[in-house]
Amino acid sequence: MKSTFKKNGVGYLFAIALLLLGSSFANPGNPAANEKTVRAVYTAYEKKDWNMLKSLFADGFTFTSPMDDHINIKEYKVRCWPNSANIKKFAIDKLIVAGDDAFVTYNGWTNDGRVFRNTEYFKLKDGKIKEFACFFGPGISFPNNKAK
- Reported as a single tens digit per residue, the pLDDT across 57-94 is 999 999 999 999 999 999 999 999 999 999 999 999 99
pLDDT digits (tens, 9 = 90+) for 111-138: 999 999 999 999 999 999 999 999 988 7
Kindly list the strands in the beta sheet with 87-98, ordered across the sheet, starting from the edge strand earlier in the chain: 68-71, 57-65, 128-139, 115-125, 101-110, 87-98
Confidence (pTM)? 0.78
Pick the closest to residue 121 from 97, 90, 89, 92 (CA basis). Answer: 97
pLDDT given for residue 25 in this prediction: 47
Residue type (1 letter), 129: I
Residue 12 has pLDDT above 90, yes or no: no
pLDDT given for residue 20 in this prediction: 46
Mean pLDDT, the chain, whole residue set: 84
CB atoms within 10 A of CB 13: 10
Pick the closest to residue 34 from 100, 78, 84, 83 (CA basis). Answer: 100
End-to-end CA distance of the chain: 74
Confidence of residue 27 (pLDDT cuts 50, 70, 90): low
Higher pLDDT: 55 or 145? It is 55
